[in-house]
């Protein structure tokens, strides 16, 4: 009974925060998985298409190393060049979205949590390493690295790329003078080049 009350308070708080526009990007599980799968399929298809365009002539080799007649242009080649990356990318993105949503609902958090991203990134890295290599040691190191990266990205947010406060201060200054004021650099340049002093 106490668990159901806690679950109800979690969902009620999430709905209240979402109505105020403070849901911090939290979406229902089905919506997150659907968007993650769509993004994964799109990225995997694009990657496979670029790979197929870059290596268009895939020759088939016999067991003794002799080249068979003509390049492989069948559905088998398209399956390996396009469908396989799309499947791998979608599996990784769906794993990350499902793990993050599962952890957030278990912990009852209504805001972004770097620990959720770290553990979800570890699960996605394990799937990625397992798909590509099928070796447990490489999948484990891939899980650790991906988990660290995703946790740090979620912890730092946009500050990993730029300082939002400084950028906003540069784009929108606190005061704007009505009369044009020359900067010190411009004054020095005009002193250095007197011919352009009246410009």
- At 109-149, the pLDDT tens digits run 656 778 888 999 999 999 999 888 888 888 899 999 999 99
Q: Is 169 inside a domain boundary?
A: no
Higher pLDDT, 160 or 150: 150
Q: What is the average per-residue pLDDT within 63-88?
A: 69
Q: Is 187 inside a domain boundary?
A: no
Q: Using CA of residue 123, residue 125, residue 129, residue 135, what is the dihedral sign?
A: negative
Q: For position 3, what pLDDT does the model report?
A: 44
Q: Is 82 inside a domain boundary?
A: yes
Q: For position 158, what pLDDT does the model report?
A: 59
Least confident of 19-28, 42-51, 76-85, 86-95: 19-28
Task: Say whether pLDDT at 61 is over 70.
Answer: no
Phi-psi region of 180 (alpha: psi -120 to 50; beta: other; left: phi over 0): beta
What is the rounded average pLDDT for all residues in the chain?
A: 76
Least confident of 88-102, 117-131, 170-184: 170-184
Q: For position 94, what pLDDT does the model report?
A: 92
Count Cβ atoms below 10 Å from residue 66 Cβ, excluding itself: 7
Q: Is 189 inside a domain boundary?
A: no
Q: Is 174 inside a domain boundary?
A: no
Q: What is the average per-residue pLDDT within 164-188?
A: 73
pTM: 0.59
Task: Say whether pLDDT at 66 is over 50.
Answer: yes
Domain that holds residue 84: 2-164
146 class by beta-carbon count within 10 Å (0-12 exposed, 13-18 middle, 19+ buried) = buried
Total domains in the chain come to: 1
Q: Is 11 inside a domain boundary?
A: yes
Task: Say whether pLDDT at 191 is over 50.
Answer: yes
Quote the Cα angle for 73-79-81, to 5°: 75
Tens digit of pLDDT for each residue in 21-56? 555 555 667 778 888 899 999 999 999 888 877 776
Q: Is 196 inside a domain boundary?
A: no
Percentage of the residues of the chain whose pLDDT score is greater than 70: 67
Q: What is the CA radius of gyration of the chain?
A: 27
Q: Is 173 inside a domain boundary?
A: no
């Amino acid at each position: 009974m106490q668990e159901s009350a806690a679950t109800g308070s979690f969902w009620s708080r999430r709905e209240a925060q979402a109505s105020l526009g403070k849901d911090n990007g939290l979406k229902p599980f089905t919506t997150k998985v659907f968007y993650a799968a769509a993004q994964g399929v799109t990225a995997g298809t694009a990657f496979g298409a670029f790979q197929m365009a870059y290596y268009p002539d895939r020759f088939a080799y016999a067991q003794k190393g002799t080249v068979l007649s003509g390049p492989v242009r069948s559905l088998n080649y398209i399956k390996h060049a396009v469908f396989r990356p799309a499947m791998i990318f979608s599996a990784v993105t769906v794993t990350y979205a499902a793990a993050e949503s599962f952890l957030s609902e278990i912990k009852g958090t209504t805001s972004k949590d770097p620990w959720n991203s770290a553990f979800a990134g570890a699960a996605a890295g394990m799937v990625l390493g397992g798909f590509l290599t099928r070796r447990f040691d490489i999948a484990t190191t891939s899980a650790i690295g991906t988990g660290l990266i995703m946790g740090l990205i979620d912890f730092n947010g946009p500050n990993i790329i730029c300082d939002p406060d400084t950028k906003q201060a540069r784009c929108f200054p606190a005061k704007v003078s009505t009369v044009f004021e020359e900067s010190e650099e411009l004054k020095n340049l005009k002193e250095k080049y007197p011919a352009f002093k009246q410009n």
